Amino acid sequence: MRDFSQLLDALVYTRSRNAKLKLIGDYLKRTPDPDRGWALAALTGELDIPGVKPALVRALIEERCDPLLFRMSWDYVGDMAETVALLWPKRSEQPAEIDDGTLRIGAVVERLRTLGKAEAPAAIAEMLDHLDASGRYALLKFATGELRIGVSARLAKTALAQAFGLDVDEVEEVWHGIGPPYLPLFDWAEGRGPQPRAVDVPVFRPFMLAHPLEDGQVDLADYAAEWKWDGIRVQLVRVGGETRLYSRAGDDITRSFPDVAEAFDHDGVLDGELLVKGEAQGGLAASFNALQQRLGRKAVSARMLADYPAFVRLYDILLDGEEDLRPLPWSERRERLERFVPTLDAERFDLSALIDAASFDELEEIRAGARDASIEGMMLKRRDSPYVAGRRTGLWYKWKRDPLTADCVLMYAARGSGKRSSYYSDYTFGCWSGDEQGEGELLPVGKAYFGFTDEELMWLDRFVRNHTLQRFGPVREVEKSLVLEVAFDSIHLSKRHKSGLAMRFPRISRIRRDKPANEADTIDALKKLVT
Protein backbone atom coordinates (compact mmCIF):
# COMPACT_ATOMS: atom_id res chain seq x y z
CA MET A 1 0.00 0.00 0.00
CA ARG A 2 2.98 2.32 0.63
CA ASP A 3 4.08 2.25 -3.02
CA PHE A 4 0.51 2.94 -4.17
CA SER A 5 0.18 5.83 -1.72
CA GLN A 6 3.38 7.36 -3.09
CA LEU A 7 1.97 7.04 -6.60
CA LEU A 8 -1.22 8.87 -5.56
CA ASP A 9 0.77 11.64 -3.87
CA ALA A 10 2.87 12.13 -6.99
CA LEU A 11 -0.15 12.15 -9.32
CA VAL A 12 -2.00 14.73 -7.21
CA TYR A 13 0.88 17.19 -7.51
CA THR A 14 1.70 16.53 -11.16
CA ARG A 15 0.09 18.64 -13.88
CA SER A 16 1.90 17.33 -16.94
CA ARG A 17 0.08 14.60 -18.84
CA ASN A 18 3.33 12.99 -19.97
CA ALA A 19 4.66 13.01 -16.41
CA LYS A 20 1.50 11.28 -15.19
CA LEU A 21 1.83 8.65 -17.91
CA LYS A 22 5.40 7.93 -16.81
CA LEU A 23 4.48 7.75 -13.12
CA ILE A 24 1.71 5.21 -13.75
CA GLY A 25 3.76 3.25 -16.28
CA ASP A 26 6.76 2.97 -13.96
CA TYR A 27 4.50 1.81 -11.12
CA LEU A 28 2.93 -0.88 -13.30
CA LYS A 29 6.33 -2.15 -14.46
CA ARG A 30 7.84 -2.47 -10.98
CA THR A 31 4.76 -3.76 -9.11
CA PRO A 32 3.98 -7.51 -9.10
CA ASP A 33 0.68 -9.22 -9.91
CA PRO A 34 -2.04 -8.99 -8.73
CA ASP A 35 -1.30 -5.71 -6.88
CA ARG A 36 -0.72 -3.69 -10.05
CA GLY A 37 -3.91 -5.02 -11.61
CA TRP A 38 -6.03 -3.98 -8.64
CA ALA A 39 -4.30 -0.58 -8.58
CA LEU A 40 -5.07 -0.17 -12.28
CA ALA A 41 -8.71 -1.12 -11.60
CA ALA A 42 -8.87 1.61 -8.96
CA LEU A 43 -7.38 4.20 -11.32
CA THR A 44 -9.83 3.29 -14.10
CA GLY A 45 -12.92 3.15 -11.86
CA GLU A 46 -13.36 -0.62 -12.29
CA LEU A 47 -12.86 -1.56 -8.64
CA ASP A 48 -15.97 -2.12 -6.53
CA ILE A 49 -15.81 -3.07 -2.84
CA PRO A 50 -19.49 -3.13 -1.79
CA GLY A 51 -18.84 -3.38 1.96
CA VAL A 52 -16.90 -0.09 2.21
CA LYS A 53 -18.79 3.16 1.77
CA PRO A 54 -18.05 6.75 2.86
CA ALA A 55 -20.69 6.54 5.62
CA LEU A 56 -18.77 3.66 7.22
CA VAL A 57 -15.56 5.69 7.23
CA ARG A 58 -17.32 8.70 8.78
CA ALA A 59 -18.75 6.50 11.54
CA LEU A 60 -15.29 5.08 12.31
CA ILE A 61 -13.58 8.44 12.67
CA GLU A 62 -16.42 9.91 14.76
CA GLU A 63 -15.90 7.05 17.23
CA ARG A 64 -12.25 8.08 17.59
CA CYS A 65 -12.37 11.86 17.66
CA ASP A 66 -14.81 14.65 18.42
CA PRO A 67 -17.45 14.65 15.61
CA LEU A 68 -17.50 18.44 15.60
CA LEU A 69 -13.72 18.57 15.20
CA PHE A 70 -14.00 16.11 12.31
CA ARG A 71 -16.69 18.11 10.54
CA MET A 72 -14.80 21.40 10.99
CA SER A 73 -11.58 19.78 9.77
CA TRP A 74 -13.38 18.25 6.80
CA ASP A 75 -14.79 21.66 5.94
CA TYR A 76 -11.29 23.13 6.01
CA VAL A 77 -9.49 20.31 4.19
CA GLY A 78 -12.29 19.69 1.68
CA ASP A 79 -11.64 15.96 1.20
CA MET A 80 -13.03 13.31 3.56
CA ALA A 81 -10.31 10.68 3.00
CA GLU A 82 -7.53 13.19 3.58
CA THR A 83 -9.24 14.48 6.74
CA VAL A 84 -9.68 10.99 8.20
CA ALA A 85 -6.11 10.05 7.28
CA LEU A 86 -4.76 13.05 9.20
CA LEU A 87 -7.06 12.74 12.23
CA TRP A 88 -6.86 8.97 12.72
CA PRO A 89 -5.17 8.33 16.10
CA LYS A 90 -1.82 6.62 15.83
CA ARG A 91 -1.31 3.54 18.00
CA SER A 92 1.77 3.71 20.21
CA GLU A 93 2.67 0.14 19.26
CA GLN A 94 1.81 0.68 15.57
CA PRO A 95 3.61 -2.04 13.55
CA ALA A 96 5.04 -1.48 10.11
CA GLU A 97 2.99 -2.85 7.24
CA ILE A 98 6.03 -4.58 5.78
CA ASP A 99 6.18 -6.94 8.77
CA ASP A 100 3.45 -9.25 7.54
CA GLY A 101 2.58 -8.09 4.03
CA THR A 102 -1.16 -8.15 4.80
CA LEU A 103 -1.55 -4.59 3.52
CA ARG A 104 -0.40 -5.25 -0.01
CA ILE A 105 -3.16 -4.16 -2.38
CA GLY A 106 -4.00 -7.68 -3.52
CA ALA A 107 -4.40 -8.88 0.07
CA VAL A 108 -6.53 -5.84 0.95
CA VAL A 109 -8.89 -6.43 -1.96
CA GLU A 110 -9.15 -10.16 -1.29
CA ARG A 111 -10.04 -9.54 2.34
CA LEU A 112 -12.47 -6.65 1.86
CA ARG A 113 -14.40 -8.27 -0.99
CA THR A 114 -15.22 -11.27 1.17
CA LEU A 115 -16.46 -9.26 4.16
CA GLY A 116 -20.06 -8.36 4.86
CA LYS A 117 -21.17 -4.92 6.02
CA ALA A 118 -21.06 -6.02 9.66
CA GLU A 119 -17.45 -7.20 9.43
CA ALA A 120 -16.06 -4.40 7.26
CA PRO A 121 -15.74 -1.66 9.95
CA ALA A 122 -13.42 -3.67 12.18
CA ALA A 123 -11.31 -4.76 9.20
CA ILE A 124 -10.93 -1.21 7.87
CA ALA A 125 -10.09 0.11 11.35
CA GLU A 126 -7.41 -2.56 11.81
CA MET A 127 -5.82 -1.66 8.48
CA LEU A 128 -5.86 2.06 9.26
CA ASP A 129 -4.13 1.33 12.58
CA HIS A 130 -1.22 -0.27 10.69
CA LEU A 131 -0.64 2.62 8.26
CA ASP A 132 0.82 6.10 8.33
CA ALA A 133 -1.18 9.13 7.16
CA SER A 134 -0.17 8.71 3.51
CA GLY A 135 -1.04 5.00 3.56
CA ARG A 136 -4.38 5.68 5.27
CA TYR A 137 -5.25 8.20 2.58
CA ALA A 138 -4.42 5.70 -0.17
CA LEU A 139 -6.40 2.91 1.50
CA LEU A 140 -9.53 5.05 1.94
CA LYS A 141 -9.41 6.37 -1.62
CA PHE A 142 -8.83 2.88 -2.91
CA ALA A 143 -11.51 1.14 -0.84
CA THR A 144 -14.30 3.72 -1.32
CA GLY A 145 -13.70 4.15 -5.06
CA GLU A 146 -13.31 7.91 -4.78
CA LEU A 147 -10.03 8.48 -6.63
CA ARG A 148 -10.23 12.05 -7.89
CA ILE A 149 -6.61 12.71 -8.74
CA GLY A 150 -6.81 14.08 -12.27
CA VAL A 151 -6.40 10.69 -13.96
CA SER A 152 -9.01 9.48 -16.43
CA ALA A 153 -9.56 5.82 -17.28
CA ARG A 154 -8.22 6.48 -20.78
CA LEU A 155 -5.05 8.05 -19.37
CA ALA A 156 -4.41 5.02 -17.14
CA LYS A 157 -4.91 2.62 -20.05
CA THR A 158 -2.62 4.77 -22.21
CA ALA A 159 0.03 4.59 -19.49
CA LEU A 160 -0.23 0.79 -19.48
CA ALA A 161 0.08 0.66 -23.27
CA GLN A 162 3.06 3.01 -23.43
CA ALA A 163 4.88 1.29 -20.56
CA PHE A 164 4.78 -2.10 -22.29
CA GLY A 165 4.80 -1.02 -25.94
CA LEU A 166 1.16 -1.98 -26.65
CA ASP A 167 -1.46 -0.35 -28.84
CA VAL A 168 -3.89 1.48 -26.53
CA ASP A 169 -6.85 0.77 -28.83
CA GLU A 170 -6.08 -2.95 -28.73
CA VAL A 171 -5.98 -2.73 -24.92
CA GLU A 172 -9.32 -0.88 -24.92
CA GLU A 173 -10.98 -3.47 -27.13
CA VAL A 174 -10.35 -6.37 -24.75
CA TRP A 175 -10.58 -4.40 -21.51
CA HIS A 176 -14.14 -5.36 -20.57
CA GLY A 177 -13.62 -8.94 -21.60
CA ILE A 178 -10.88 -9.55 -19.01
CA GLY A 179 -11.64 -7.77 -15.75
CA PRO A 180 -9.36 -6.96 -12.80
CA PRO A 181 -6.68 -7.80 -11.87
CA TYR A 182 -6.08 -8.20 -15.65
CA LEU A 183 -3.62 -11.09 -15.43
CA PRO A 184 -3.95 -12.10 -19.14
CA LEU A 185 -3.34 -8.47 -20.07
CA PHE A 186 -0.07 -8.30 -18.13
CA ASP A 187 0.95 -11.75 -19.42
CA TRP A 188 0.59 -10.39 -22.96
CA ALA A 189 2.35 -7.13 -22.04
CA GLU A 190 5.38 -8.99 -20.66
CA GLY A 191 5.52 -11.65 -23.38
CA ARG A 192 4.34 -14.58 -21.26
CA GLY A 193 1.04 -15.09 -23.05
CA PRO A 194 -0.84 -14.43 -26.29
CA GLN A 195 -2.70 -11.23 -27.09
CA PRO A 196 -6.20 -11.44 -25.55
CA ARG A 197 -8.99 -11.54 -28.11
CA ALA A 198 -12.65 -10.62 -27.85
CA VAL A 199 -14.25 -13.91 -28.83
CA ASP A 200 -17.98 -14.21 -28.19
CA VAL A 201 -17.77 -11.41 -25.61
CA PRO A 202 -19.61 -8.09 -26.18
CA VAL A 203 -16.61 -5.84 -25.50
CA PHE A 204 -16.33 -2.08 -25.86
CA ARG A 205 -14.67 -0.50 -28.91
CA PRO A 206 -13.18 3.01 -28.50
CA PHE A 207 -15.36 5.77 -29.93
CA MET A 208 -14.39 8.02 -32.79
CA LEU A 209 -14.45 11.60 -31.48
CA ALA A 210 -14.60 15.04 -33.04
CA HIS A 211 -12.68 18.29 -32.81
CA PRO A 212 -14.61 21.53 -32.21
CA LEU A 213 -15.13 23.52 -35.39
CA GLU A 214 -13.34 26.78 -34.75
CA ASP A 215 -13.73 29.86 -36.92
CA GLY A 216 -13.81 28.66 -40.50
CA GLN A 217 -15.76 26.53 -42.92
CA VAL A 218 -15.59 23.10 -44.50
CA ASP A 219 -16.47 22.08 -48.05
CA LEU A 220 -19.83 20.27 -48.06
CA ALA A 221 -18.66 18.29 -51.06
CA ASP A 222 -16.21 16.60 -48.69
CA TYR A 223 -18.26 16.66 -45.47
CA ALA A 224 -21.74 15.47 -44.53
CA ALA A 225 -23.74 17.29 -41.83
CA GLU A 226 -26.09 15.75 -39.27
CA TRP A 227 -27.62 16.91 -36.01
CA LYS A 228 -25.72 16.50 -32.74
CA TRP A 229 -28.41 15.24 -30.38
CA ASP A 230 -28.45 16.15 -26.69
CA GLY A 231 -28.42 12.75 -24.99
CA ILE A 232 -25.48 10.51 -24.14
CA ARG A 233 -23.29 8.78 -26.68
CA VAL A 234 -23.62 5.00 -26.46
CA GLN A 235 -22.31 1.91 -28.13
CA LEU A 236 -24.56 -1.11 -28.66
CA VAL A 237 -22.73 -4.44 -28.81
CA ARG A 238 -24.29 -7.84 -29.41
CA VAL A 239 -22.40 -11.11 -29.84
CA GLY A 240 -22.83 -14.64 -28.57
CA GLY A 241 -26.45 -14.01 -27.65
CA GLU A 242 -25.57 -11.19 -25.23
CA THR A 243 -26.13 -7.44 -25.59
CA ARG A 244 -24.35 -4.67 -23.72
CA LEU A 245 -24.65 -0.88 -23.74
CA TYR A 246 -21.52 1.18 -23.14
CA SER A 247 -21.15 4.87 -22.43
CA ARG A 248 -18.55 7.04 -24.09
CA ALA A 249 -16.20 6.35 -21.17
CA GLY A 250 -16.58 2.60 -21.67
CA ASP A 251 -18.84 2.11 -18.64
CA ASP A 252 -21.35 -0.74 -18.91
CA ILE A 253 -24.80 0.89 -18.53
CA THR A 254 -26.88 -2.11 -19.66
CA ARG A 255 -28.67 -2.45 -16.32
CA SER A 256 -29.87 1.16 -16.48
CA PHE A 257 -31.43 0.64 -19.93
CA PRO A 258 -32.69 -2.95 -20.13
CA ASP A 259 -35.48 -1.93 -22.52
CA VAL A 260 -32.94 -0.86 -25.16
CA ALA A 261 -30.64 -3.85 -24.59
CA GLU A 262 -33.49 -6.37 -24.92
CA ALA A 263 -34.62 -4.78 -28.19
CA PHE A 264 -31.21 -5.03 -29.87
CA ASP A 265 -31.19 -8.61 -31.18
CA HIS A 266 -28.92 -8.40 -34.24
CA ASP A 267 -25.21 -9.24 -33.95
CA GLY A 268 -23.10 -6.18 -34.52
CA VAL A 269 -21.79 -2.95 -33.01
CA LEU A 270 -23.60 0.37 -33.43
CA ASP A 271 -22.81 3.94 -32.40
CA GLY A 272 -25.61 6.32 -31.47
CA GLU A 273 -27.21 8.78 -29.06
CA LEU A 274 -29.30 7.51 -26.17
CA LEU A 275 -32.45 9.60 -25.76
CA VAL A 276 -35.83 9.47 -24.01
CA LYS A 277 -39.20 9.96 -25.66
CA GLY A 278 -41.43 12.67 -24.26
CA GLU A 279 -45.23 12.95 -24.33
CA ALA A 280 -45.00 16.71 -24.80
CA GLN A 281 -42.89 16.11 -27.90
CA GLY A 282 -45.43 13.71 -29.41
CA GLY A 283 -43.20 10.71 -28.77
CA LEU A 284 -40.10 12.41 -30.18
CA ALA A 285 -36.86 13.02 -28.29
CA ALA A 286 -37.30 14.89 -25.02
CA SER A 287 -34.72 17.11 -23.33
CA PHE A 288 -31.65 15.82 -21.53
CA ASN A 289 -33.47 16.53 -18.26
CA ALA A 290 -35.85 13.64 -19.04
CA LEU A 291 -32.98 11.27 -19.80
CA GLN A 292 -31.32 12.25 -16.52
CA GLN A 293 -34.15 10.57 -14.60
CA ARG A 294 -32.77 7.20 -15.70
CA LEU A 295 -29.02 7.76 -15.69
CA GLY A 296 -27.01 5.97 -13.03
CA ARG A 297 -29.81 3.66 -11.86
CA LYS A 298 -28.75 0.09 -11.22
CA ALA A 299 -32.38 -1.06 -11.10
CA VAL A 300 -35.17 0.50 -13.16
CA SER A 301 -38.79 0.17 -12.07
CA ALA A 302 -41.66 -0.62 -14.41
CA ARG A 303 -42.98 2.89 -13.72
CA MET A 304 -39.69 4.44 -14.76
CA LEU A 305 -39.58 2.36 -17.94
CA ALA A 306 -43.10 3.52 -18.82
CA ASP A 307 -42.64 7.20 -17.94
CA TYR A 308 -39.22 7.59 -19.58
CA PRO A 309 -38.98 5.15 -22.51
CA ALA A 310 -35.47 5.14 -23.94
CA PHE A 311 -34.38 4.78 -27.55
CA VAL A 312 -31.20 5.20 -29.58
CA ARG A 313 -30.76 7.52 -32.55
CA LEU A 314 -28.08 5.77 -34.61
CA TYR A 315 -25.03 7.50 -36.08
CA ASP A 316 -22.71 4.77 -37.32
CA ILE A 317 -22.09 1.03 -37.68
CA LEU A 318 -18.78 -0.50 -36.61
CA LEU A 319 -19.48 -4.21 -37.07
CA ASP A 320 -22.23 -5.94 -39.04
CA GLY A 321 -22.28 -9.44 -37.61
CA GLU A 322 -18.61 -10.46 -37.58
CA GLU A 323 -17.66 -8.10 -40.43
CA ASP A 324 -15.56 -5.16 -39.24
CA LEU A 325 -16.71 -2.06 -41.15
CA ARG A 326 -14.48 0.48 -39.41
CA PRO A 327 -11.86 0.65 -42.21
CA LEU A 328 -14.57 1.60 -44.74
CA PRO A 329 -15.17 5.29 -45.57
CA TRP A 330 -18.04 6.99 -43.74
CA SER A 331 -20.18 7.12 -46.91
CA GLU A 332 -20.10 3.32 -47.28
CA ARG A 333 -20.74 2.76 -43.57
CA ARG A 334 -23.71 5.12 -43.81
CA GLU A 335 -25.20 3.03 -46.62
CA ARG A 336 -24.73 -0.14 -44.53
CA LEU A 337 -26.34 1.56 -41.54
CA GLU A 338 -29.32 2.65 -43.61
CA ARG A 339 -29.86 -0.99 -44.60
CA PHE A 340 -29.32 -2.22 -41.03
CA VAL A 341 -31.70 0.12 -39.18
CA PRO A 342 -34.98 -1.11 -40.80
CA THR A 343 -34.27 -4.58 -39.38
CA LEU A 344 -34.43 -3.20 -35.81
CA ASP A 345 -37.34 -2.41 -33.50
CA ALA A 346 -38.64 0.98 -34.67
CA GLU A 347 -39.80 1.83 -31.14
CA ARG A 348 -36.24 1.65 -29.83
CA PHE A 349 -34.03 2.63 -32.78
CA ASP A 350 -34.09 5.23 -35.51
CA LEU A 351 -31.59 6.83 -37.88
CA SER A 352 -30.02 10.23 -37.31
CA ALA A 353 -31.03 12.25 -40.36
CA LEU A 354 -28.54 14.09 -42.55
CA ILE A 355 -28.96 17.84 -43.07
CA ASP A 356 -29.47 18.98 -46.64
CA ALA A 357 -27.82 22.34 -47.38
CA ALA A 358 -26.64 23.80 -50.69
CA SER A 359 -23.83 25.80 -49.07
CA PHE A 360 -22.05 26.30 -45.78
CA ASP A 361 -23.80 29.66 -45.34
CA GLU A 362 -27.16 27.91 -45.62
CA LEU A 363 -26.00 25.29 -43.13
CA GLU A 364 -25.04 28.07 -40.73
CA GLU A 365 -28.53 29.56 -41.01
CA ILE A 366 -30.10 26.16 -40.27
CA ARG A 367 -27.88 25.75 -37.23
CA ALA A 368 -28.68 29.24 -35.92
CA GLY A 369 -32.41 28.47 -36.03
CA ALA A 370 -32.17 25.15 -34.21
CA ARG A 371 -33.52 25.40 -30.67
CA ASP A 372 -35.15 21.99 -30.40
CA ALA A 373 -34.92 20.62 -26.86
CA SER A 374 -32.84 17.65 -27.96
CA ILE A 375 -30.49 19.36 -30.45
CA GLU A 376 -27.05 20.35 -29.19
CA GLY A 377 -25.58 21.41 -32.51
CA MET A 378 -24.24 19.75 -35.66
CA MET A 379 -21.69 17.11 -36.61
CA LEU A 380 -19.60 17.48 -39.76
CA LYS A 381 -18.13 14.18 -40.95
CA ARG A 382 -15.65 13.73 -43.76
CA ARG A 383 -17.25 11.42 -46.30
CA ASP A 384 -14.11 9.33 -46.85
CA SER A 385 -13.19 8.98 -43.15
CA PRO A 386 -12.72 5.52 -41.63
CA TYR A 387 -13.95 4.93 -38.08
CA VAL A 388 -10.83 5.46 -35.99
CA ALA A 389 -10.52 5.70 -32.22
CA GLY A 390 -10.00 9.09 -30.60
CA ARG A 391 -9.79 12.51 -32.24
CA ARG A 392 -8.09 12.69 -35.61
CA THR A 393 -7.56 16.11 -37.16
CA GLY A 394 -9.68 16.87 -40.20
CA LEU A 395 -12.08 13.91 -40.02
CA TRP A 396 -14.99 14.81 -37.73
CA TYR A 397 -16.00 18.19 -36.32
CA LYS A 398 -18.60 19.12 -33.73
CA TRP A 399 -20.29 22.46 -34.24
CA LYS A 400 -22.31 23.29 -31.16
CA ARG A 401 -25.02 25.91 -31.20
CA ASP A 402 -24.16 29.17 -29.44
CA PRO A 403 -24.75 29.03 -25.68
CA LEU A 404 -27.50 30.94 -23.91
CA THR A 405 -26.56 33.37 -21.14
CA ALA A 406 -28.20 34.86 -18.07
CA ASP A 407 -27.15 37.30 -15.36
CA CYS A 408 -27.48 35.53 -12.00
CA VAL A 409 -26.68 36.41 -8.39
CA LEU A 410 -24.19 34.34 -6.38
CA MET A 411 -26.02 32.80 -3.40
CA TYR A 412 -23.93 29.96 -1.95
CA ALA A 413 -20.43 28.53 -2.28
CA ALA A 414 -18.72 25.30 -1.27
CA ARG A 415 -15.15 24.09 -1.40
CA GLY A 416 -13.97 22.14 -4.40
CA SER A 417 -12.16 18.81 -4.37
CA GLY A 418 -8.63 17.70 -5.19
CA LYS A 419 -6.46 20.67 -6.08
CA ARG A 420 -9.34 23.04 -5.33
CA SER A 421 -10.10 21.66 -1.88
CA SER A 422 -8.72 24.84 -0.26
CA TYR A 423 -10.85 27.18 -2.38
CA TYR A 424 -14.53 27.99 -2.54
CA SER A 425 -14.97 27.03 -6.17
CA ASP A 426 -18.46 25.47 -6.39
CA TYR A 427 -21.05 28.20 -6.84
CA THR A 428 -24.83 28.22 -6.59
CA PHE A 429 -26.56 31.17 -8.25
CA GLY A 430 -30.13 32.40 -8.60
CA CYS A 431 -32.55 34.77 -10.30
CA TRP A 432 -35.44 36.93 -9.06
CA SER A 433 -38.88 35.37 -8.65
CA GLY A 434 -40.83 38.60 -9.15
CA ASP A 435 -42.22 40.13 -12.31
CA GLU A 436 -39.45 42.72 -12.47
CA GLN A 437 -35.73 42.64 -11.85
CA GLY A 438 -34.90 42.97 -8.15
CA GLU A 439 -38.42 41.93 -7.06
CA GLY A 440 -39.49 38.87 -5.10
CA GLU A 441 -36.87 36.47 -3.74
CA LEU A 442 -33.77 34.94 -5.25
CA LEU A 443 -34.35 31.30 -6.24
CA PRO A 444 -31.44 29.00 -7.16
CA VAL A 445 -31.35 28.16 -10.87
CA GLY A 446 -28.04 26.30 -11.17
CA LYS A 447 -24.56 25.39 -9.96
CA ALA A 448 -21.22 25.79 -11.70
CA TYR A 449 -17.63 25.00 -10.86
CA PHE A 450 -15.78 25.88 -14.06
CA GLY A 451 -15.53 28.55 -16.74
CA PHE A 452 -13.30 30.92 -14.77
CA THR A 453 -9.54 31.44 -14.78
CA ASP A 454 -7.22 30.70 -11.84
CA GLU A 455 -6.99 34.45 -11.20
CA GLU A 456 -10.79 34.76 -11.16
CA LEU A 457 -11.00 31.75 -8.80
CA MET A 458 -8.72 33.56 -6.34
CA TRP A 459 -10.90 36.65 -6.53
CA LEU A 460 -14.13 34.66 -6.07
CA ASP A 461 -12.66 32.75 -3.13
CA ARG A 462 -11.77 36.03 -1.38
CA PHE A 463 -15.26 37.39 -2.09
CA VAL A 464 -16.89 34.34 -0.50
CA ARG A 465 -14.68 34.53 2.62
CA ASN A 466 -15.24 38.27 3.05
CA HIS A 467 -18.99 38.26 2.40
CA THR A 468 -20.18 35.15 4.26
CA LEU A 469 -23.54 35.55 6.01
CA GLN A 470 -24.11 32.02 7.36
CA ARG A 471 -22.48 28.61 7.37
CA PHE A 472 -24.34 25.36 6.74
CA GLY A 473 -21.73 22.66 7.25
CA PRO A 474 -19.36 22.94 4.27
CA VAL A 475 -21.61 25.48 2.49
CA ARG A 476 -21.40 29.24 2.93
CA GLU A 477 -24.26 31.60 2.23
CA VAL A 478 -22.93 34.87 0.87
CA GLU A 479 -24.15 38.42 0.62
CA LYS A 480 -26.42 38.66 -2.42
CA SER A 481 -24.46 41.36 -4.22
CA LEU A 482 -22.30 39.70 -6.89
CA VAL A 483 -23.65 39.12 -10.40
CA LEU A 484 -22.26 36.29 -12.53
CA GLU A 485 -22.91 35.96 -16.24
CA VAL A 486 -23.71 32.27 -16.66
CA ALA A 487 -23.54 30.47 -20.00
CA PHE A 488 -25.54 27.27 -20.55
CA ASP A 489 -26.49 25.05 -23.45
CA SER A 490 -30.22 24.85 -22.69
CA ILE A 491 -32.72 25.18 -19.88
CA HIS A 492 -35.66 22.95 -18.99
CA LEU A 493 -38.61 22.81 -16.62
CA SER A 494 -37.91 20.73 -13.53
CA LYS A 495 -40.15 19.73 -10.63
CA ARG A 496 -37.12 18.88 -8.50
CA HIS A 497 -36.01 22.49 -8.10
CA LYS A 498 -37.76 25.33 -6.26
CA SER A 499 -37.26 27.64 -9.21
CA GLY A 500 -38.90 25.06 -11.52
CA LEU A 501 -35.87 25.20 -13.84
CA ALA A 502 -32.73 23.16 -14.55
CA MET A 503 -29.78 24.37 -16.63
CA ARG A 504 -27.79 22.13 -18.96
CA PHE A 505 -23.98 22.55 -18.71
CA PRO A 506 -23.90 25.86 -16.80
CA ARG A 507 -20.51 27.57 -16.51
CA ILE A 508 -19.32 30.97 -15.32
CA SER A 509 -18.84 33.16 -18.37
CA ARG A 510 -17.99 36.49 -16.70
CA ILE A 511 -17.88 38.13 -13.29
CA ARG A 512 -20.12 41.19 -13.56
CA ARG A 513 -18.66 43.42 -10.86
CA ASP A 514 -20.12 46.36 -12.75
CA LYS A 515 -23.73 45.19 -12.46
CA PRO A 516 -25.92 45.63 -9.33
CA ALA A 517 -27.71 42.53 -8.09
CA ASN A 518 -31.16 44.05 -8.57
CA GLU A 519 -30.50 44.08 -12.33
CA ALA A 520 -30.01 40.32 -12.57
CA ASP A 521 -32.46 38.27 -14.63
CA THR A 522 -35.84 36.97 -13.49
CA ILE A 523 -37.21 33.42 -13.40
CA ASP A 524 -39.84 34.44 -15.96
CA ALA A 525 -37.11 35.63 -18.34
CA LEU A 526 -35.38 32.27 -18.08
CA LYS A 527 -38.64 30.39 -18.64
CA LYS A 528 -38.91 32.09 -22.03
CA LEU A 529 -35.69 30.27 -23.00
CA VAL A 530 -37.11 26.83 -22.15
CA THR A 531 -37.15 24.50 -25.17
Residue 307 one-letter amino acid: D
Which own/partner pairs from 286-293 qualify as long-range (CB within 8 Å, at least 24 positions apart)? 286/373, 286/374, 287/230, 287/373, 287/374, 287/490, 287/492, 287/504, 287/531, 288/230, 288/231, 288/374, 288/490, 288/492, 288/504, 289/492, 289/493, 289/494, 289/502, 289/504, 291/231, 291/232
147 CB neighbour count, 10 Å cutoff: 19
Residues 6+ apart with CB under 8 A from 375: 227, 228, 229, 230, 401
C-alpha 158/C-alpha 368 separation (Å) is: 38
Bridge partners (DSSP) of residue 444 are: 430
Backbone angles phi, psi at 262, to 5 degrees: -65, -30
The vertex-526 CA angle with 520 and 531, nearest 5°, equals 160
Select which of 228, 398, 515, 528 is catalytic. Answer: 228
What is the SS3 assignment for 231?
coil
Whole-angstrom Cα Rg for the chain: 25
Residues 6+ apart with CB under 8 A from 510: 484, 485
- Side-chain-side CA neighbours of residue 53 (13 Å): 6
53 an active-site residue? no
Residue 385 backbone class (left: φ over 0; alpha: ψ -120 to 50; beta: rest): beta
Residues 6+ apart with CB under 8 A from 169: 206, 389, 390
DSSP-derived secondary structure for 25-44:
HHHHHHSPTTHHHHHHHHHT
Q: List, by residue number, the catalytic residues.
A: 228
